[in-house]
A = this chain, B = another copy of it.
Amino acid sequence: MSQTVDRALSILPLLAEGPADLGKVAERLGVHKSTALRLLRTLHEHGMVYRQSDQRYRLGARLIALAQEAMENLDIRGIAHPHLVRLNEQCGHTVHLAVYEEDEVLYIDKVESRYPVRMYSRIGKPVAITVAAVAKLLLADLPEHERRALAEQLDYPLYTSRSTPNAPAFLRELDKVREQGWATDLGGHEESINCVAAPIRGADGRVVAAMSVSAPNVVVTADELLTLLPLVRRTADAISGEYSGRTPAKDTP
């Protein structure tokens, strides 16, 4: 809509790939160097980009700080966090909280496993949308046309032999997940890692977030992990109750 802003914002993902110099930015944007310079300067004034000692630009600190505030303001996160911690204390495994937003699912909170073997993930990282248990729950709740449209436009990378292979299989899986009210990922993203997930709902019953417990095979088998399902669902329901205002937040017990 606004050409100048559009160009300026296009610089950010470009720099996310790695530091770039003025010439490269101008080239990638398809504009004159002087134009790119002015855009970069404006971004710089706002701290969105940083000029390192070799004169190249990279993403700046303000961006990180803003993202930080953005996450703190997601009220579901603040409500859920103590519940996630308690669940982690009970089962010891990695606990994740994720939300859906504009064709992406991303982790917004995480409590690390207390076992020495940990899985790799980071808050803020978009999840493997076609296989992650939390993604299935969040997408399963979308209106049908939106869900179909999204499923069609997605890529279906074969992380493992158990990854969801294509859109029809994915849609079937989503139907199943919606019906049963919980989801799993059994080695669909990384061969040896299993997850079990449950939805968090708002007052209107819509799924606003999803949480999961993940553990590698070497710690517990998939079957053992599934025995945690009732606990995970109870936790998710407790968060739902508090989020939708049905249950007042408990005083720290």
| Interface pick from A120-128, A146-154, A240-248 | A120-128
Residues of chain B lying within 8 A (CB to CB) of residue A18: 73
**Neighbour of A8 across the interface among B5, B10, B17, CB < 8 A:** B5
Question: Contact between A101 and B5 (Cβ–Cβ < 8 Å)?
Answer: no
B65 and A70 contacting across the interface, CB-CB below 8 Å: no
Q: Which of A56-64, A158-166, A210-218 contacts B (4 or more CB under 8 A)?
A: A56-64
List B contacts of A126 (CB < 8 A): 61, 65
State in angstroms the CA–CA spacing of A67 and B124 once bound together: 8
Contact between B2 and A61 (Cβ–Cβ < 8 Å)? Answer: no
Q: How far is the CA of A64 from the CA of B65 in the complex (A)?
A: 10
In the assembly, how many copies of this chain are there? Answer: 2
Report, as a range, how many residues of chain A touch the other chain: 35 or more
Which residue on B lies nearest to A61, using beta carbons? B101
Q: How far is the CA of A69 from the CA of B122 in the complex (A)?
A: 11
A104 touches B70 (CB 8 A): no
Beta-carbon contacts under 8 Å, A38-84 to B: 38-39, 41-43, 45-48, 50, 58-73
Contact B61 A73, beta carbon cutoff 8 Å? no
15 contacts between A and B (CB under 8 A): A1-B38, A2-B42, A5-B43, A9-B43, A10-B46, A16-B69, A60-B102, A63-B70, A64-B108, A65-B104, A65-B106, A66-B67, A67-B68, A68-B124, A68-B125
**Which residues on A are within 8 Å of B, measured CB to CB?**
1-2, 4-6, 8-10, 12-13, 16-19, 38-39, 41-43, 45-48, 50, 58-73, 101-102, 104, 106, 108, 112, 122-126
